Chain A
Amino acid sequence: MSGGSTPDEVADHAFLAALAGLPAMGPARLRALLGLLGPAGSWKVASSGRLPREVQAVIGPRAASVATSWVEAARTCTPEAVLAELQSVGVTVTRRGEHGYPPALVDDPDPPEVLFSTGRPVVNENGPTVAIVGTRRCTRYGTEVAVEFGRGLAEAGVVVVSGLASGIDTAGHAGVLAAMGGTPPVAVVATGLDIVYPAQNRTLWRRVADAGQIISEAPLGVGPARWRFPARNRIIAALADVLVVVESHLEGGSMYTVTAALERDRPVLVVPGPIRSPASEGTNRLLSDGAAPACNLDDILCALNLVCLEPVSLATNHGAPPVSADPADLGVLDALGWEPTTLDGLATRTRLSPVQLGSAVGRLQRAGLISEERGFLQRCSGRGVP
C-alpha cells in the first residue's frame, strides 16, 4: 500500500523490497548499490551477478560468493511478486527521503535505505520520542520501572519506541498500551514483519500493530539472524530523542543501543539499580561513566526539554502499602527489600516459622505487594503490572 505514490515509486519499491530480501544484504551493501545504480539498476546488476567494482569493495573478499548467492536468490523471485505479497499483508514500503520515511533517520550516519512498516505512521509525526530499552533477563524491579515510564511518557504525549523483545522491551510496550489516551506504541523489530520473534510475544506484537506501528528494515520472511539485532538497535537509537536504559547486564544488546545513541548525540538516561543485581550491573556502570540518572518521569521529560507540572516520585508511590495489611506482614515486606529473595532467605531474615511465613507471603501476594517467579519473591508496587 504505497498510497499516493507515483507509478515510478511503486516500481522502485518493488525493486527495493526484492533487493532487501537478498541473502547477506546488509544496510551498507544496499546503500552502496543504490547510490551507484538506483533501484532498477541495482536489481539488474544483483540478479545478473556482474557487480561494479565499487560494490565489490564494500562487500570485501567474499564478493564473488555473495554475488553468486544473489543470482541464485534472484532467479526464484520477481520484484513484482515481492511487492504484491507485502501489499497483501498491509505492509508499507518507504524509501529514504520519501514522504513517510521517519525524518530522524534521513540524515543518519547509517540510514536504512528502505523501511517496512505496519500500522499507523506514528514516527513520522516528529513528536518527542523516547526509546525504552533494557535486558531481556530483567527483574521485577526493571519490569515495573519500564511499565511506569512507558505509561507515563505515553500519557505525557511522548512517542515511546522499543524493540518488542522479551523483558524490558515487553514491559515498556505494555506500559504504553496501558496508558489512558496516550500516544500509540512504536516497535522496531529485527525480523520480517510476518515473523514474530520471540514467539511468546505474539499477543503483544498484535496489540502494538493494532494500536501503533511496527517498523523493520527486513522484508517478509526474514527470521531472527544474529546481525540484525544490533542493526535494529541503531534504528531505535536514531529514532529516539532520548534513550532510557532501564536494566542492563554488563554486556548485551542494550549496550549496543547506548553506543549507537552516543554516536548520534542522543542523550542517554539510565535507571539506577541495586549494586548487587547483575541485571543492573551494566546500567550502574553507565551511570559511573557519566550517564544521567532517570529516577523518575520528570528526569526524562526534562531531558526532552518538556516540563512536567506535577513531578511524581516513584519511590513514594512504591512505598505505601495498603493500611489493611497486617503489621506482621509489613515486617515480612520490609525484610524482603527490593531484591529477589527465596522463601528460605526470607525465613532466615524474619525468623518466622514456615507456616507463619508461608501464610504471610500468600496474603501479600494476593494484596499485589509481592510477586513470585520460579520461587523468587520480589516486592512490587501493587499497581497491577504484567
Chain B
Amino acid sequence: MGLPDASCREARDRVRAALVSSGLAWPSQRITVNLAPTGVPKAGAVLDLAMAVGLLVACGELEPETVDGLAFLGELGLDGSIRPVAGALPLVDAVEVEGVVVAPENRLEASLVEARQVYSVGDLRSLVRALRGDDEWPASPDLAEFDEIIQYPDLSDVRGQPIPRFALEVAATGGHHLLMIGPPGAGKSMLARRLPGLLPRLDSSDALQAARIRSAVGEELPPGGLVRRPPWRAPHHGASAAALVGGGSGTMRPGEISLAHGGVLFLDELGEFAPKVLNTLRQPLEEGTVRVSRVTGSTEYPARVLMVAAMNPCPCGGSGAPGGCRCPESVRARYVRRVSGPLLDRFDLRVDVRRPDPGELLDGNPGETTASVADRVATARQRAVDRGVRANSDLSPSDLEAEAVLEPAAVSLLEAALHAGRLSARGLHRVRAVALTISDLQGDEGSLGADLIDTALSFRIDPFSPVGPSVR
C-alpha cells in the first residue's frame, strides 16, 4: 500500500518470481509492504530490490544486521536478475545511508556520489550470499576518469561563410544566444553542430549536475560518468512544452533545456515550434534554472544553455531577399510573428546565412579548424572570468557600465539607434555586451569604439522589419 502506480504494484509478481527462481522461499502467509510516506505517489520498479530484501529479512532468511546502513535500488527480473533503473545518480544521492546496492549497469552513476559505498550485484542469489557472508561481494573494476571521446564535427568543414563563422565564435565566447536566418540548405544546422566544440569543458560541479540530469531521464552516461563535454541537444520542432522545459504527468522529468545544461540547445526550424512552447523557454533562459510545478509537486532543474536557433526567412523557402521570395507580405509576417518579440530579443546575435558561393564550396581553402578557434575562444573567455562572470552575457547593466566603457562616438551611435527605435533598452545592453566580447576576441584593451558597436549592430538583424517602402 502507499499510492503505487501500475508498474510499482506489479512488483508483487516480479519479487515473487525472482525469489522463487533464485531458490529462496516465498512465505505462505499474507504479505503487506508499506511504501511510506503514504502520501507520495510511487512509480516504476525502482523499489523491487528493496522489497525483496525486506521480505527476506522479515521471514528470517537474512539477519536484520546484515542489511544495516544499506540501500537497495534496482528492478528485478523474473529470473532473479537485478536490472538497472533510470535516475540512479540522483536516487543514490537522495538516500542517506553508508552503502548502496545497485545493478552493475548503474555502478558508474552511483559511484559519482562520493559519500556512498557502492556495491553492484547482478542477481538476487549472489546478493543474498554476499549479505550472509557466504561469498565476497562481486569484484568490480576500478573506475578511471575516462575522457569522453566524442568527436564534434570540425569547423574546417565549413567553407566560406565568414560572417556566420564569426557569429559562432562570438556566441561561444560571450555566451550570446544566436539566431541564424537563411534558406533551406544554407548550412545553418551544419554551423550550429560545430558550436559545442568551441565551448569550454564543463567544470566538476556542472559535470556532476549534467550527469544527474542525464541519469534522471535514463540516458547513458559517458565512460567515466561525469559529463565533461558540452552537451548538444536538438529537440524536434514538434516538441511539447514539457519536453522542452521539463515536467510531464506522473514522474517529473527534466526537459531538453536541462539536458543541454552547460552546452548547446539547438532549435531548428524555430518558426515551426508552437509559439506557446517557445515562450516557456523565456524564464529558464533568463534565470539559468527551470522551475516545474505540477499538482504532484514542484522541482527545479539547472538550465544554463547557449541557445542557437535556425529559421527560414519565409515559408516559401526562398532566400528572403527583397523581391526574391514568393510569399505575400502577410504570409511572411505571420510566419515570423510565430517567434514572439520578447523571445527574439533574447538572441543577441542574429545573422543571415546564405548558401556559400559555389566557388568556395568547390575549391575554397578549408576553413580554420575548431581547435584553433577554440583556443581564441578560451583566451577571450578568460577575460570574462577575470571580470567575475562565466561569460560576458552574464554581465549586468551596471557591470557593463564599468567593464564596457564606450568612446563618445560609440555613445552617440547607440543613442541614435535607440531613438530610431532600432534598439530597446535591453537591446542596448546586449549590443554593448556583444561589442565587449568582440573586443575580447581581438585582444583589445580600453574603451569600445564606434566600429565595435557598428559591428555588434550589424550582427543583430530584425526579421520582423516590414519590407518595401512606407510613408510616415
Is the CB of A42 closer than 8 A to any CB of chain B?
no
Within 8 Å CB of A376, what residues of B?
A: 320-322, 352
C-alpha spacing A200/B442, complex, angstroms: 43
Interface residues of A in 366-386 (CB under 8 A from B): 366, 372-376, 378, 385-386
Which of B262-270, B375-383, B462-470 is the contact stretch?
A: B462-470
Is the CB of B297 closer than 8 A to any CB of chain A?
no
B471, A174: Cβ atoms closer than 8 Å: yes
Query: Which of A139, A140, A171, A375 lies in contact with B461, CB distance below 8 A?
Result: A375
Q: How far is the CB of B30 from chain A (nearest CB, A)?
A: 73
C-alpha spacing A102/B470, complex, angstroms: 29
Closest A residue to B444 using CB positions: A355
B357, A142: Cβ atoms closer than 8 Å: no
Do A355 and B471 form a contact, CB below 8 Å, given A347-B163, A375-B352? no
C-alpha spacing A166/B323, complex, angstroms: 12
B471, A170: Cβ atoms closer than 8 Å: yes
Within 8 Å CB of B88, what residues of A?
A: none
Q: How far is the CB of A367 from chain B (nearest CB, A)?
A: 12
Query: Which of B351, B453, B466, B472 lies in contact with A343, CB distance below 8 A?
Result: B351
Query: Which of B323, B457, B466 lies in contact with A135, CB distance below 8 A?
Result: B323
B323, A138: Cβ atoms closer than 8 Å: yes
C-alpha spacing A347/B454, complex, angstroms: 15
Within 8 Å CB of B451, what residues of A?
A: 355-356, 358-359, 362
Is the CB of B438 closer than 8 A to any CB of chain A?
yes
A278, B323: Cβ atoms closer than 8 Å: yes
C-alpha spacing A363/B350, complex, angstroms: 20
Q: How far is the CB of A121 from chain B (nearest CB, A)?
A: 23
Closest B residue to A363 using CB positions: B454
Is the CB of B458 closer than 8 A to any CB of chain A?
yes
C-alpha spacing A138/B321, complex, angstroms: 10
Query: Which of A136, A343, A348 lies in contact with B357, CB distance below 8 A?
Result: A348
Closest B residue to A144 using CB positions: B469
Is the CB of A207 closer than 8 A to any CB of chain B?
yes
Is the CB of A148 closer than 8 A to any CB of chain B?
no
Within 8 Å CB of B462, what residues of A?
A: 374
Is the CB of A127 closer than 8 A to any CB of chain B?
no
Interface residues of A in 316-361 (CB under 8 A from B): 340, 342-345, 347-348, 354-359, 361
Do A203 and B352 form a contact, CB below 8 Å, given A277-B323, A340-B324, A344-B161? no
Do A139 and B322 form a contact, CB below 8 Å, given A171-B469, A355-B442? yes
A358, B322: Cβ atoms closer than 8 Å: no
Q: How far is the CB of B377 from chain A (nearest CB, A)?
A: 15
Closest B residue to A273 using CB positions: B323
A361, B454: Cβ atoms closer than 8 Å: yes
Query: Which of B452, B468, B472 lies in contact with A355, CB distance below 8 A?
Result: B452
Is the CB of B450 closer than 8 A to any CB of chain A?
yes
B322, A279: Cβ atoms closer than 8 Å: yes
Interface residues of A in 140-165 (CB under 8 A from B): 140, 142-143, 146-147
Query: Which of A166, A173, A345, A366 lies in contact with B468, CB distance below 8 A?
Result: A166
B351, A375: Cβ atoms closer than 8 Å: yes
C-alpha spacing A247/B451, complex, angstroms: 36
Is the CB of B160 closer than 8 A to any CB of chain A?
yes
Do A137 and B323 form a contact, CB below 8 Å, given A347-B162, A348-B162, A374-B461? yes
C-alpha spacing A211/B354, complex, angstroms: 43
Chain B interface extent, by class:
35 or more
C-alpha spacing A70/B352, complex, angstroms: 53
Is the CB of A39 closer than 8 A to any CB of chain B?
no
Query: Which of B163, B181, B454, B467 lies in contact with A137, CB distance below 8 A?
Result: B467
Closest A residue to B439 using CB positions: A355
Closest A residue to B455 using CB positions: A358
C-alpha spacing A344/B453, complex, angstroms: 18
Within 8 Å CB of B137, what residues of A?
A: none
Q: How far is the CB of B143 from chain A (nearest CB, A)?
A: 45
Is the CB of B407 closer than 8 A to any CB of chain A?
no
C-alpha spacing A343/B162, complex, angstroms: 9
Within 8 Å CB of A374, what residues of B?
A: 181, 313, 320, 322, 352, 461-463, 465, 467
Do A247 and B323 form a contact, CB below 8 Å, given A348-B357, A359-B454, A363-B454? yes
Is the CB of B164 closer than 8 A to any CB of chain A?
yes
Q: How far is the CB of A259 from chain B (nearest CB, A)?
A: 21
Query: Which of B161, B313, B450 lies in contact with A359, CB distance below 8 A?
Result: B450
Q: How far is the CB of A195 from chain B (nearest CB, A)?
A: 16
Within 8 Å CB of B329, what residues of A?
A: 136-137, 166, 198
A selection of 11 A-B contacts at a CB cut-off of 8 Å is A136-B468, A137-B329, A343-B352, A343-B459, A355-B455, A362-B457, A374-B461, A374-B463, A375-B181, A376-B352, A386-B469
Additional 19 contacts, C-beta under 8 A, given A345-B354, A376-B321: A135-B323, A136-B468, A139-B323, A140-B322, A143-B469, A170-B469, A170-B471, A203-B472, A249-B323, A279-B323, A344-B161, A348-B162, A348-B360, A357-B458, A359-B450, A359-B452, A361-B454, A363-B454, A374-B320
Q: Please report A residues at the B interface, Cβ cutoff 8 Å.
A: 135-140, 142-143, 146-147, 166-167, 170-171, 173-174, 177, 198, 200-201, 203-204, 207, 247, 249, 277-280, 340, 342-345, 347-348, 354-359, 361-363, 366, 372-376, 378, 385-386
